[in-house]
Structure 1
Amino acid sequence: MRYIGTAASRVDGYAKVTGAAKYAAEVRPDDLTHGSVVTSTIARGRITRLDVSEALRVDGVIKVLTHLNRPEMPDDDSAYKDDVAPDGSPFRPLYDDRILFDGQPIALVIAEEPEIAQFAASLVRVDYDQEPHVTDVRRRREEPSALKPSAKTGADPFAPPKPRGAAEKALAAAEVRHQGEYYVPIEHHNPMELYASTVIFEGDGKLTVYDKTQGVQNVQRYLCGVLKMDPDDVRVMSPFMGGGFGSGLRPQYQVVLAGLAALALKRSVRVVLTRQQMYGLGHRPAMIQRIELGAKADGTLETVTHDAVTVTSQYEHFYRQETGWSGLLYRCANATYAHKLAPLDLATSCDMRAPSAATGVYALECAMDELAVALGLDPLDLRLRCYSDRDQHADRPYSSKNLRDCYRQGAEAFGWDKRNREPRSMRDGSELVGWGMATGVWEAMQVPIGVRIVLTANGHAEVSCATSDIGTGTYTIMAQVAADMLGLSLDDITIKLGDSTLPQSPVEGGSWIAASVANGIATTSDAVRHELLGLAKQMQNSPFADVAPDEVTLADGKLVSKRDPTSAVLIADAMRHSGVDRIEREKTTRFTKDESRSHNVHSAVFAEVKVDEELGVIRVTRIVSAVAAGRILNPKTAGSQILGGVVWGIGMALHEETLLDHTFGRVMNANIAEYHVPVNADIHDIKVIFVDEPDDSINRLGIKGLGEIGIVGVAAAVANAVYHATGMRVRDLPITLDKLD
């Protein structure tokens, strides 16, 4: 392979740094109008009066849309369901007078200029019939009757795994036990690009929608249901996206508001949410977890119990499989899980990078660290003693698992063998030094996907798929795989994506797109190669007259015999000889689920912190993340993915927390000045190691995907390092200096 596995620079990099790449709020059609959203100031109740008269008197204001005058919308829930919608009744923007959460959109002011719309929106007056609300998960947990089961049946893919053994009995008999409660607060995604939609009203009444989304076809189907339009009349585009992290898996409400306004005005409309309004969208749910571990004195893990209470909204039941990671990672004969939902008067929670694993593994890996202390063992030694080569849930082997090498290479690079086990035993001047570690795990998933390839006689190929590039480098890895599969140079490949009219793709999330689309390109390339072979066989004195399709490959612009590399025909010659100017093939790739093996990615994270003994200020000075994730398509973009995940894990451990005023049910730090995220001064040395992990059974290219794994385990490694430095165990995130008092 010439390109797969190489650190190619982003093929879309030039467009991004020069501004040629246009995002959803940068497309400027003729006759464009601008919408500004008015949001609710209560968490629960009804609108009793909505006065828009002052707003309408402002010069340049065209219309104010509310639930009283919007275009017709469907009554049934099914019209509002998207591809990843949870159980329940989806939120319907501007549908009626009900208020379900603070910051809910209740009106859209449309004007000729954005500043006019924003000013006029401030003049809209609203009265409410306010009802009691609850936004505190701890308060809700004290009301057992208000909690909901997370899954209806064991067949639910997000249901906790089936228990095994006799966990309660094993815990009672364990020689060493640990019990702890761990808390993760609500976190908001805060991507750099604000959520925005530009809806172009075409002359024939059709809509072309530029939307910030992780799934254009998902949005297209959703809009057709909500706006009562035919699929052929709605095209959704998202060629570039400035970060999503899961917040763009579901259509956000601004795209509906812009669509309603475009239909009402028969003009193009742009709606851009403010940073504050983005806190009225989904979030990583707050979570209270209780873990009990029982072990023999030699470190053999005997039992795991993991219970969780997770935040959701009152109208939808969003959840992920939070507790089952605990029973998956380590060899343990007895395990049991429980997961309940705490419905609150907030917007529905949603996926956020490594949903369920980032939070569930945090609790598990902190608990394992505490168990190691109780046993008098090194934390890495304990994990190696409990290592499992088999999926503990399904009792089957992995297609590949190189976690042992992650531990070994990560520990060597970090210098773990120099760690003094005693807390508060390592210092650097006035700072306490702590070393902590944790394990990471994620699923290696694949999804059906369509790819179209158009190869022209001049040696150029256009590869298209409706998938998104959310900043991860999808353009680049698609180009690398296509270049190798078609035997062309990287410069001869054009990638088209982020367009609902292109071949079918699911939303981009879960770390499944790289593996899926890369193998999809390979499948369609096979079809192109077969056709080229047919053309080459028609040539006079063809060296391929009796050659089977699997006996030839494409390389350096030629069709080449695998048996005799000197037997080759230029692609251009084969096409021109047959009078063919272009070959177009489209294939859908589906992956057969291997029930005999489990597919996961793993990591080992080692962290160093330094804590000012007087002030309690914590600095993460070093991180080593060793990752085993099958074949790495591009070490440069892949390394950036892990770096970003590590930074977010540091934020999860020390910075990020959405603060609610429960009296009003309102986010108090709805901005990126008071919602703390790591900045340059917070990030020091991060080393990423990719551990070799051949896997020829998961798919033909051996790809697993690694967008999520970078964050998993980082918060636990940092928290464990803080304990080692200070001797103080903080079990609720983020770990701020006041908690070290």
Structure 2
Amino acid sequence: MSIGQAISRLDGSRKVTGRAKYTADVEVEGALHAVLVPSTVPSGTIAAIDAAPAEDAPGVVRVFTHLNTPKLAEMTNPPAGQTIMPLQGDRIFYEGQPVAMVIADTLERATEAARRVQVTYRNEPFATDFIAGLDRAEARPLFGLPPDSSVGDIEAALSGTNVRVESVYGTADRHHNPMEPAAVTALWQDGRLEVYDAVQGVVDTRNTLALALQMEPQNIRVRNDFVGGGFGCKGWLWPHEVLAALAARELSRPVKLVLTRAQSYTSHGYQPASRQTVTLAARSDGALTGIRHQSVLAGSLSGDHVEPSGWGTPALYASPATQATHRVVRLNRGNPTPMRAPLEGVGLIAVEIAMDELAYELGIDPLALRLRNYTEIDPAEGKPFSSKKLRECYAEGARRFGWSSRTVEPRSMRDGRNLIGQGMATALFRTFRSPAKVRIGLDQSGEVLIETSTQEIGTGVYTIFPQIAADVLQMPVERVSLSLGDTNLPESPMNAGSRATLSTGSAVQDAAAKLKAKLAEAGATTPDGYAEAVARQGVDRIEAEGDWTPPEEATHAMYSFGAIFAEVGVDEDIPIPRVRRVVGVYNAGRIINPKTARSQMTGGVVWGIGQALLEKSEMDQQHGRFLSKNLAGYLVPVNADVPEIDVSFVDDFDEHVGPLGARGIGELGAIGVGAAIANAVFHATGIRVREVPIRPEHLLAMAQSSY
């Protein structure tokens, strides 16, 4: 059995030796280089643009501006990252918006020429301050769905209770910062477009490029072998991809465009800041009677993204009445986009800190409060969960962490100069499923090749999918390889929403079963006879096509779950919170590979530490732009910030979610960590911080009082 085995990554050696080829590594003979010229103002119009100094520079082939760029089709968001197509008019909606693109024979010459493009603006008033714009918040659809949802009579639930807590909670603007910058190389030949692109969905990119360029999808090919991190920012189509493809078509020359690190802060989204008001009402015994979760989020004038931060709230606890609302403040910023972890990753910061506050108000242990409101039925949908082992996650997490030895009172635990705090939170992430297709074949040498258009973004599919096929075919996983990241291969969904293993993996399983049946028909009853059976057929290989499509209507509510326990230390005099250890126990159905799964969850916990204590994209409100567009000024966790992380799973087979019995985990690990750390900081210091990241200035009152 290959499924369930802790197999090391089959692509690991390629990555650590540098043999893995990423998009920017692709060399195409005769390729030109493109460099974008970004707007330096956040709002206004282009009064004049003088490209002549750039056009006269050595090696320059063309300078595209709004005056000479061919018309693009209007787009919606998604599948485009923003609704404003690049270089289509003189309006400026955000700082960093492309106002020109320089094409030259070398990157250095293109970069120098881009500096020579002279742009004069008619500045207009702008709005980039999210907090100042809260009174302008408006309701907009959530991916085509209503912005508000409710179950039960929320007003009655909140008015007739014994205990009620209500507070405002905040999360910060954050940027994805993948190690690999966004990169694209486009080639035009004989009416066809071939694109190497660092994206999380080659099929989606092909289809969206076809819309933008008004081409037939079959005349576009998009591919990549590896993506060096995406985390959401490489999920949709952004201006740099459209412009590179358009330039290749216009010039009939290959064009390569790689965003700078600074441009990645304005060119493919970010996680928007939020202000969330959470009201919890409960009886004196801890039973919830009502949950109201009101979210206001940063948005953009260049797109329609609204973070659905309240989507998971109604499924969390057994409350007879729940309401979730969403409003957005449209700003002169680039359009936000999903970021690991979207949805509950933003919303549970607020709800799970509020649950901790309610526990202290009631005098009930925070874990006991959650168990008191445990539910096997999704209150929002009225459906049973497809599989839920969250109770077991609570128990195992508490045991591994030593939760029972925690003293309840804030500031009651010490280690020398450090105040010690312990907190916990629940993690929940909804399950996304998509149709997928796979081709699998076995050749005369007995080697198996899986072919599908899915992408490798660091999650381990080069190992997981061969494991699934090897398990069905009962052969060593080392004899199974995977070809992916190409729209010429059978179509699979984008790697987003933690859907790859469930969706494409189910198609792999189907294809492998069909291949096994064909081999049996050819006389191969055991793996030892597979190669001979192919030879007897007189063919190079025997192939089978597999597919999987989720049912249109689900009979069960589908989520993955987790319980997070965190311990922090805070020096009384230098109040910098330090995470000392984290325990996370997760339930995500069947775990295909415990080793890669633990890697995913550990990485997610590190993301949670960053959200809790470090990550914030600061805005210069005077000039309407993000500050410190680099990793020198944007803090991410480093080794010194990451403590002992204990990750484990409560494994089970979810028969309702799909034939593999597995749900998604890619985003789950980043959820709940921030709230658990915030709750631990309160336990350590007695100071309730209701926004992340938690900075020393939030705790300065404690330090000052100790002098």
Give the alignment's TM-score, normalised by structure 1: 0.92
SS at match of 2:289: strand
For the residues of structure 2 that align with 1:354 and 1:400, how far apart are their CA atoms? 22
SS at match of 1:710: helix
Query: Corresponding residue for 2:140?
Result: 150
The Cα shift of 1:159 comes to 4.1
Amino acid at match of 2:625: R
> Any residues of structure 2 matched to 1:190-201 within 5 Å, and which?
190-201=177-188
Residue among 424, 427, 440 paired with 2:427: 440
State whether structure 2 residue 646 is matched by structure 1 residue 660: no
State whether structure 2 residue 29 is matched by structure 1 residue 30: yes
Residue among 122, 130, 136 paired with 1:129: 122
The Cα shift of 1:699 comes to 1.7
Q: Is the 8 A contact 2:166 2:277 kept in 1?
A: yes
Query: Corresponding residue for 2:225?
Result: 239
Q: Is the 8 A contact 2:205 2:222 kept in 1?
A: yes
For the residues of structure 1 that align with 2:389 and 2:180, how far apart are their CA atoms? 37
Q: Is the 8 A contact 2:560 2:587 kept in 1?
A: yes
For the residues of structure 2 that align with 1:697 and 1:594, how far apart are their CA atoms? 12
Q: Mean Cα displacement is larger for which, 247-256 or 37-46?
A: 247-256
For the residues of structure 2 that align with 1:158 and 1:423, how far apart are their CA atoms? 41
> Any residues of structure 2 matched to 1:543-622 within 5 Å, and which?
557-558=527-528, 570-593=529-552, 595-622=554-581
Q: Is the 8 A contact 1:175 1:297 kept in 2?
A: yes
> Any residues of structure 2 matched to 1:298-447 within 5 Å, and which?
298-447=285-434
State whether structure 2 residue 115 is matched by structure 1 residue 107: no
Amino acid at match of 2:485: G
SS at match of 1:37: strand
Query: Corresponding residue for 1:50?
Result: 49
1:494-542 residue CA offsets vs partner (Å, 9 max, x unmatched): 21110011111221100111111111011112222232232229xxxxx
Amino acid at match of 1:409: E
For the residues of structure 2 that align with 1:73 and 1:693, how far apart are their CA atoms? 53
Query: Corresponding residue for 2:213?
Result: 227
Amino acid at match of 2:348: V
For the residues of structure 2 that align with 1:157 and 1:484, how far apart are their CA atoms? 40
For the residues of structure 2 that align with 1:251 and 1:617, how far apart are their CA atoms? 39
Amino acid at match of 2:71: M
Amino acid at match of 1:115: E
Amino acid at match of 1:40: S
1:609-658 residue CA offsets vs partner (Å, 9 max, x unmatched): 00111011110010001001111111111111111110011100111111
Residue among 627, 648, 667 paired with 2:586: 627
Query: Corresponding residue for 1:694?
Result: 653
Q: Is the 8 A contact 2:278 2:292 kept in 1?
A: yes
The Cα shift of 1:44 comes to 1.3
Amino acid at match of 1:259: A
1:109-155 residue CA offsets vs partner (Å, 9 max, x unmatched): 12222122112211211101111111122222123xxx321338xx9
Residue among 471, 477, 482 paired with 2:458: 471
Residue among 79, 82, 89 paired with 1:84: 79
Gaps of at least 5 residues in structure 2 are 701-707
Query: Corresponding residue for 1:457?
Result: 444
1:456-483 residue CA offsets vs partner (Å, 9 max, x unmatched): 2321121111111111111110111111
The Cα shift of 1:224 comes to 2.2
Amino acid at match of 1:148: E
Amino acid at match of 1:274: T
For the residues of structure 2 that align with 1:16 and 1:107, how far apart are their CA atoms? 35
The Cα shift of 1:595 comes to 3.3
Query: Corresponding residue for 1:117?
Result: 110
Query: Corresponding residue for 1:258?
Result: 244
1:394-445 residue CA offsets vs partner (Å, 9 max, x unmatched): 1221121000111111111111111111001111111111000000001122
For the residues of structure 2 that align with 1:710 and 1:345, how far apart are their CA atoms? 32
SS at match of 2:185: strand
Q: Is the 8 A contact 1:82 1:251 kept in 2?
A: no
Q: Is the 8 A contact 1:82 1:221 kept in 2?
A: no
Q: Is the 8 A contact 1:73 1:228 kept in 2?
A: no
For the residues of structure 2 that align with 1:85 and 1:234, how far apart are their CA atoms? 17
The Cα shift of 1:593 comes to 4.7
For the residues of structure 2 that align with 1:575 and 1:264, how far apart are their CA atoms? 47
1:314-344 residue CA offsets vs partner (Å, 9 max, x unmatched): 2422124322422211111122222112111
Amino acid at match of 1:490: V
Q: Is the 8 A contact 2:200 2:457 kept in 1?
A: yes
Q: CA RMSD in A?
A: 1.8
CA gap of 1:226–1:334, structure 2 versus 1, over 3 A, is: closer
Q: Is the 8 A contact 2:272 2:307 kept in 1?
A: no
Amino acid at match of 1:447: S
For the residues of structure 2 that align with 1:649 and 1:107, how far apart are their CA atoms? 37
For the residues of structure 1 that align with 2:669 and 2:417, how far apart are their CA atoms? 31
| Count of matched residue pairs | 699
Amino acid at match of 1:411: A
Q: Is the 8 A contact 1:401 1:693 kept in 2?
A: no
Percent of paired sites with the same residue: 41
